[in-house]
Amino acid sequence: MSLQALIFDVDGTLAETERDGHRPAFNAAFRNAGLPWRWDVDTYGELLSVTGGKERMRHFAERHDPAFLLRANVDQAIRALHADKTRHYLSLLEAGGIPLRPGVAALIAEARAAGLRLAIATTTTPENVTTLLRTSLAPDAPSWFEVIGAGDIVPNKKPAPDIYLWLLDKLGLPPEACLAIEDSANGLKSAVAARLPTVVTTSIYTAHDDFTGALSVLPDLGQARLSELALIHRIKNS
């Protein structure tokens, strides 16, 4: 089946948002809340095995600050921390702090010119996606994406297939008509579990992940032309 839609992951795929974006935003929220938690670059790399910011904080507390989880309103506390983290992250984006990775803007432009449908499948919070697209791609870029699947819209985050299954349903396409672009093993597992042909572009934290099941693994999208991706899709998907 010919390629009809590209589905992009966000963090690590569109931009290197984790190390110098999400991580310092979490730390700022911890500081504001008077918590002693600090996530250095290596610690954060380990924590990325858990997708979703609220889930990641809970996972960290279970291991390093179990008393935090005994608070009366722990769910509310995690939600408040996460809201503050999102505020910090958005202000970093608004300051133009996170550029897109090489080749991303060109590939999106090519796909639009070729009439392909575009969508987003991510674990991160919806405003993080639209703000990144608006500040780092173009003011109207969020509208280029027909469906944006993000955050808590599905019960189970990546590596579960939920977000991709939700998107396929919204797009009304079978998985073989799409190509997912991911940067991590968790993202790849999620896409493959939804039977999506998937290309991986490795990122700072994921270079050593296991990418078994990917159609192709690229260091970035700098050389990735749409025609080549469509060819990979056709050959490996036939």
Binding site for Mg ion (CB under 5 A): 9, 11-12, 183-184, 187
Apex 12 CA angle, 151 and 180, nearest 5: 75
Strand partners, 198: 180
Binds 198: which of Mg ion, ligand XBP, none (CB < 5-8 Å by kind): none
Work out which of 15, 16, 22, 221 binds ligand XBP, going by CB under 6 A.
22
Nearest Cα neighbor of 181 from 202, 157, 209 is: 202
In the bound state with ligand XBP, the residue whose beta carbon lies nearer, of 1 and 50, is 50
Q: Is 135 in the site for ligand XBP (CB under 6 A)?
A: no
Of 89-128, binders to ligand XBP (CB under 6 A) are 122-125, 128
In the bound state with ligand XBP, the residue whose beta carbon lies nearer, of 52 and 175, is 52
In the bound state with ligand XBP, the residue whose beta carbon lies nearer, of 25 and 225, is 25
CB of 76 to Mg ion, least distance (A): 28
CB of 128 to Mg ion, least distance (A): 12
In the bound state with ligand XBP, the residue whose beta carbon lies nearer, of 82 and 117, is 82
Look at the block and give the residue holding tokens 């390093």. Answer: 64
Whether 87 and 207 have beta carbons less than 8 Å apart is answered as no
Of 178-217, binders to ligand XBP (CB under 6 A) are 184, 186-187
Distance set, CA 85 to CA 17, 31, 77, 208 (Å): 13, 10, 12, 28
Give the separation between CA 43 and CA 207, rounded to whole angstroms.
16
Kindly indicate which of the ranges 27-35, 46-54, 135-143, 215-223 contains the residues binding ligand XBP, using the contact rule CB under 6 A. Answer: 46-54
- Residues near 178 by beta carbon (within 8 Å), at least 6 away in sequence: 3, 4, 5, 6, 7, 119, 168, 171, 196, 197
For residue 156, the 8-state DSSP code is S
In the bound state with ligand XBP, the residue whose beta carbon lies nearer, of 13 and 171, is 13
Which residues are known to be catalytic?
9, 11
Give the separation between CA 210 and CA 142, rounded to whole angstroms.
31
Binding mask 156-175 for ligand XBP (x = CB under 6 A): --x-----------------
Whether 237 and 197 have beta carbons less than 8 Å apart is answered as yes
- Residues near 43 by beta carbon (within 8 Å), at least 6 away in sequence: none
Kindly indicate which of the ranges 7-15, 32-40, 138-146, 191-199 contains the residues binding ligand XBP, using the contact rule CB under 6 A. Answer: 7-15
Kindly indicate which of the ranges 6-14, 32-40, 105-113, 140-148 contains the residues binding ligand XBP, using the contact rule CB under 6 A. Answer: 6-14
Site residues, ligand XBP (CB under 6 A):
9-12, 18, 22, 51-53, 122-125, 128, 158, 184, 186-187
